[in-house]
């Protein structure tokens, strides 16, 4: 049975990726971002969840996607912190996370 992404509230920051197929630039740039920043992603407790054509085998599709493609950053509190229809979010994503109040405490133990 599919879970709600809200089950990850207060456990993980989320990056929700909604794309049409694996040829989409959003999907390609996201996989590149992951491979280039694996340590930083782990260090920031960031879970990345893909929805291809609004479907994911593990999670039900959140209401905020509403037939939209793009990238959402969801904070520990479950609120949307940023959204973009393209890959521009990656230019400042790590800095945006680092500016969050709860992240400031986590930065004491940075491993990257």
pLDDT beyond 80 at 73: yes
Write b or e for each residue in 53-92: b if 16 or more Cβ atoms lie within 10 A of its Cβ, otherwise e: eeebeebebbeeeeeebbbbbbbbeeeebeeeeebebbee
pLDDT digits 0-9 by tens, 20-71? 999 999 999 999 999 999 999 999 999 999 999 999 999 999 999 989 999 9
Q: Is the pLDDT of residue 78 over 90?
A: yes
- Is the pLDDT at 5 greater than 90? The verdict is yes
Q: What is the mean pLDDT of the chain?
A: 94
> Which of 3.40.228.10, 3.40.30.10, 1.20.1740.10, 2.40.50.1070 would CATH assign to domain 5-109?
3.40.30.10
Structure tokens, 98: 């680092």
> pLDDT-derived band of residue 112, with 50, 70 and 90 as boundaries?
confident
Residue 109 scores a pLDDT above 80: no
Global confidence as pTM:
0.92
Given pLDDT bands bounded at 50, 70 and 90, which one contains residue 93? very high
Q: What is the pLDDT of residue 103?
A: 92
Residue 16, helix vs strand vs coil: strand
Helix (H) or strand (E) holding 87: none
Calpha distance 9→4 (Å, rounded): 10
Domain ranges of the chain: 5-109
pLDDT at 1: 83
């Amino acid at each position: 049975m599919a879970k709600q992404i809200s089950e990850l509230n207060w456990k993980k920051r989320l990056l929700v990726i909604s794309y049409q197929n694996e040829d989409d630039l959003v999907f390609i740039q996201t996989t590149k971002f992951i491979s280039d920043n694996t340590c930083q992603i782990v260090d920031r407790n960031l879970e990345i969840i893909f929805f291809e054509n609004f479907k994911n085998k593990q999670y039900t599709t959140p209401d905020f996607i509403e037939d939209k493609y793009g990238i959402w950053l969801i904070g520990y509190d479950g609120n949307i912190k940023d959204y973009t229809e393209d890959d521009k979010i990656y230019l400042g994503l790590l800095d945006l996370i680092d500016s969050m109040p709860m992240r400031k405490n986590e930065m004491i133990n940075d491993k990257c």
